[in-house]
Amino acid sequence: MDKKRFYITTPIYYPSAKLHIGHAYCTVATDAMARYKRLQGCEVMFLTGTDEHGQKIENKAKEAGVTPQQFVDDIVEGERGVQDLWRLMNISHDRFIRTTDGYHVAAIQRIFRKMYENGDIYKGKYEGWYCTPDESFWTESQLVNGRCPDCGREVVRASEEAYFFRASKYADRVRHLLTDTDFLQPASRVNEMVNNFIDCEGGLQDLCVSRTSFTWGVPVDFDPGHVVYVWLDALFNYMTALGYENNAHDDLNKFWPADVHFVGKEIVRFHAIYWPAFLMSLDLPLPKHVYGHGWLLFNGGKMGKSFGNVVDPYVLAERYGVDTLRFFLLRTFPFGSDGSFSNELLINTINVDLANDLGNLVSRTTAMVEKYFGGTLPVSRQDSDADGELKAMAVSLRDRYEAEMEHFQFQNALSEIFRVIDRANKYIDENEPWKLAKDEANKARLATVMYTLLETVRICATLLTPFIPESCEKIFASLGGCEDCRGWDEANVWGALRPDVTVSKGEALFPRIDAAKELAELEKLLAAANAPAAPAVEVEPPAEESVDFDTFCRSDMRAVKIKNCVAVKKSEKLLQFTLDDGTGTDRTILSGIHKYYEPEDLIGKTAVAIVNLPPRKMMGIESCGMLLSAVHKEGGEEKLHLMLVDDSIPAGAKLC
Ligand code: MSP
């Protein structure tokens, strides 16, 4: 029989700044959902990625003195960038899309053309208000106190020739989708969408879907000067990543329509109104659900670099462990509503749920089996009515958990598990194993008490796996591996753990924290992480836009022989070159070209370097100069070619 399929997505992130814990929130939730579906036996496609075009990126790159492509490459692939963070957070995505990927760019051009040809995209003139940070156009009536209704920032008057998407044509169908189906969840978000954007004065407005004021975007191939609006470009990632209008992937029939798009509440508008309208225009099936989750607030406001209140997930994960952070995010805040992050809440969750309740249950139980039975349970048993309540709660847990997970109610699903964990801790106190252990005659009863606890732990660990996968791995290891009893099918079955199981206590899963001391420490750490950092862009300094002849002549360009070339540890882009520059002393230069070359292929070649640039430290290594490369764009993707010259040119020869 074919496995059930499940396709889930996160929003693709703007690599305009490093991610914060608010971004991690949605991705962790999506990961928990994907792992839960895999646990159930589904074939899952979990997509995430980055949304890399737009004016904001173009501006930021300019400020940083690098090309937009270099700018996004660093934030996406560089040290402590987006991909690093997802690795650290144990995110199990099946695919990662970057909107600068060549296949996506080409697909967007085809999609834009199709909508132009079917008459849903037409040329007009845009006049209105533009929020640069949000890249959104607004009409006068949509502004709140003259500012952007999404972020509250200043807007500027803008007017340009542009292409428009005929959203108005789909107003009735979108209204029906929102009000008569469960497409948009939670249902509390429906009225806001319908009232503010469809049944508002003037009705659903056509959407401006091209820009001419900047160039960092997907070019409209039949009208040079226009680039495709980032939201049209970005939303279609959910389909191009499966192979829509491209040959890079081939999973469209298998996974489209998506089961659910998880998105933050401020981008529900794009997902619940324009996205379905775009799909309607192309006669494509609609995603089954869009779930608009709440925000993690900090000091009552939305977290963001510009607000100076970013909580750095690296700091928290490195200090408390990845599972702790994952757990905290989904246990503490109801997914559909806003939640206020605080350090106190975090430490409290660690101490109460993880250390006291779960950690304690596992360590007490395994320690007692070691102490009373040398680690291996005897098979003789003596059941009692005293076991009934806990057993019943544990075997029926899976159903209650499933009901919550199916509605993305992670907090409630975890509450169900912790009710059972609480009950198990109480069961220990009621049955007082330490007293039973005093009398040999109680051995069978003691074995039953221990087995009841181990079975409860096994069931809870199975259902906790989507949330804290590494810790559950450790729990299963201390329960003898549980190879054949840790699946979904065994999670509502009593007695799956072998009766003569051998357990081991293992290290403490979640050590308790001294709250008062830790709070002071944590505040300092987070404040330090919020301090403005030196730009971490791993690229050579950009060349000046124009130079006079004398300045140009001061650049000392030399032929250099590549003696050795290796990849720089922890960097996806940098290669470290050891060069003979004719002086007799080796020269080290770092260059961000690993994406285009294997280091060993370059050894022995002759390249060109500027050798009189001030040394620059990247990833802890001093780079003395810059290797020259040629750059060009192919299918929207930037390509670098190292300038290699005739090997007969001796090392140190000056270029003039
Ligand atoms: N690039 C768009 C999404 C395009 S999807 C086709 C975007 N990117 S974003 O990086 O700005 O935000 C990504 C997600 O992070 C959004 O869903 C946003 O709501 C979420 N969050 C950003 N800050 C957040 C919090 N403080 N709390 C919870 N989620 C937050 O929007």
Task: Tokens 């609609």: give the residue.
Answer: 286
Q: What is the pLDDT confidence band of residue 537, given thresholds at 50, 70 and 90?
A: very low
**Is 650 a domain residue?**
no
R_g of the chain computed on alpha carbons: 29
- What pLDDT was estimated at residue 305? 56
pLDDT tens-digit readout, 311-364: 889 989 989 999 999 999 999 999 999 999 989 999 999 999 999 999 999 999
**Is 325 a domain residue?**
no
Stretch 132-139: mean pLDDT, rounded? 76
Last residue of a domain, one of 169, 197, 225: 225
Q: What is the dihedral of CA 533, 534, 540, 543, to 10 degrees?
A: 120
* Number of compact structural domains in the chain: 4
Distance 509 CA to ligand 1 centre (A): 32
- Report whether residue 290 contacts ligand 1, using a CB cutoff of 6 Å: no
Last residue of a domain, one of 507, 533, 559: 533
For residue 31, give the CATH number of its domain: 3.40.50.620
- Report whether residue 14 contacts ligand 1, using a CB cutoff of 6 Å: yes
- Report whether residue 496 contacts ligand 1, using a CB cutoff of 6 Å: no
The 3-state DSSP class for residue 468 equals coil
**Is 324 a domain residue?**
no
Query: Which letter does DSSP use for residue 374 in this model?
Result: T
- What pLDDT was estimated at residue 73? 96
Stretch 165-179: mean pLDDT, rounded? 98
pLDDT tens-digit readout, 193-241: 999 999 998 999 999 999 998 999 999 999 999 999 999 999 999 999 9
Last residue of a domain, one of 316, 332, 360: 316
Q: Which residues contact 419 (CB under 8 A, 6 or more apart)?
A: 393
For residue 555, give the CATH number of its domain: 2.40.50.140
Alpha helices per DSSP H over 262-337: 268-269, 275-281, 313-320, 322-332
Pocket test for ligand 1, best of 23, 98, 136, 330 (most atoms within 8 A of CB): 23
- Report whether residue 12 contacts ligand 1, using a CB cutoff of 6 Å: yes
Shared domain for 429 and 385, answered yes or no, is: yes
pLDDT above 70 (res 101): yes
Distance 229 CA to ligand 1 centre (A): 17
Task: Tokens 């390249």: give the residue.
Answer: 607
Yes or no: say if 31 and 93 are a contact pair by the CB < 8 Å rule: yes
The identity of residue 144, as a single letter, is: V
- Strands (DSSP E) found in 350-461: none
Shared domain for 463 and 519, answered yes or no, is: yes
pLDDT > 90: percent of the chain: 72
**Is 270 a domain residue?**
yes
**Is 291 a domain residue?**
yes
pLDDT above 50 (res 612): yes
Stretch 169-186: mean pLDDT, rounded? 98
- What pLDDT was estimated at residue 535? 38
Shared domain for 155 and 200, answered yes or no, is: yes
Yes or no: say if 26 and 262 are a contact pair by the CB < 8 Å rule: yes
Mean pLDDT is lowest, of 301-310, 467-476, 604-613, for: 301-310
Q: Answer whether the bond into residue 15 is a cis peptide, omega within 30°.
A: no
Pairs from 312-315 (Cβ < 8 Å, separation ≥ 24): 312/18, 312/20, 312/21, 312/526, 312/529, 312/530, 313/19, 313/20, 313/21, 313/24, 313/85, 313/88, 313/89, 314/80, 314/85, 314/88, 314/529, 315/525, 315/526, 315/529
Quote the CA–CA distance of 552 and 315 in Å, as a whole number. 45
- What pLDDT was estimated at residue 544? 36
Q: Hey, how many other C-beta atoms are within 10 angstroms of the C-beta on 137?
A: 21
pLDDT above 90 (res 103): yes
Domain that holds residue 161: 120-225
Nearest to 214 by CA among 54, 105, 16: 54
What residue's CA is closest to ligand 1, atom 11? 14
> Which backbone phi and psi does 567 adopt, to 5 degrees?
-75, 140
Q: How many residues does the chain have?
A: 656
Task: Tokens 């007692």: give the residue.
Answer: 368
pLDDT above 80 (res 35): yes
**Is 654 a domain residue?**
no
Pocket test for ligand 1, best of 18, 26, 231 (most atoms within 8 A of CB): 26
Beta bridge partners of 129: 138, 157
Quote the CA–CA distance of 607 and 575 in Å, as a whole number. 14
For residue 124, give the CATH number of its domain: 2.170.220.10
Shared domain for 219 and 241, answered yes or no, is: no
Query: Which letter does DSSP use for residue 3 in this model?
Result: P
Quote the CA–CA distance of 214 and 375 in Å, as a whole number. 68
- C-alpha 122 chain-centroid distance: 35
Shared domain for 424 and 367, answered yes or no, is: yes
For residue 517, give the CATH number of its domain: 1.10.730.10
Quote the CA–CA distance of 99 and 241 in Å, as a whole number. 10
Quote the CA–CA distance of 655 and 610 in Å, as a whole number. 10
Quote the CA–CA distance of 109 and 121 in Å, as a whole number. 13
Q: What global pTM score does this model have? A: 0.80
**Is 335 a domain residue?**
no
Shared domain for 131 and 154, answered yes or no, is: yes
Q: What is the dihedral of CA 38, 470, 397, 332, to 10 degrees?
A: -110
Shared domain for 357 and 396, answered yes or no, is: yes
Shared domain for 220 and 238, answered yes or no, is: no
What residue's CA is closest to ligand 1, atom 15? 23
- C-alpha 359 chain-centroid distance: 28
**Is 651 a domain residue?**
no
- Report whether residue 295 contacts ligand 1, using a CB cutoff of 6 Å: yes
What residue's CA is closest to ligand 1, atom 6? 235
Shared domain for 599 and 574, answered yes or no, is: yes
Shared domain for 350 and 466, answered yes or no, is: yes
Q: How far is it between the farthest Cα atoms of the chain?
A: 99
Shared domain for 423 and 523, answered yes or no, is: yes
Query: Which letter does DSSP use for residue 648 in this model?
Result: T
Shared domain for 373 and 269, answered yes or no, is: no
Average pLDDT value for the chain: 91
- Report in angstroms the alpha-carbon separations of 146 from 128, 142, 150, 157, 507: 12, 9, 12, 11, 58
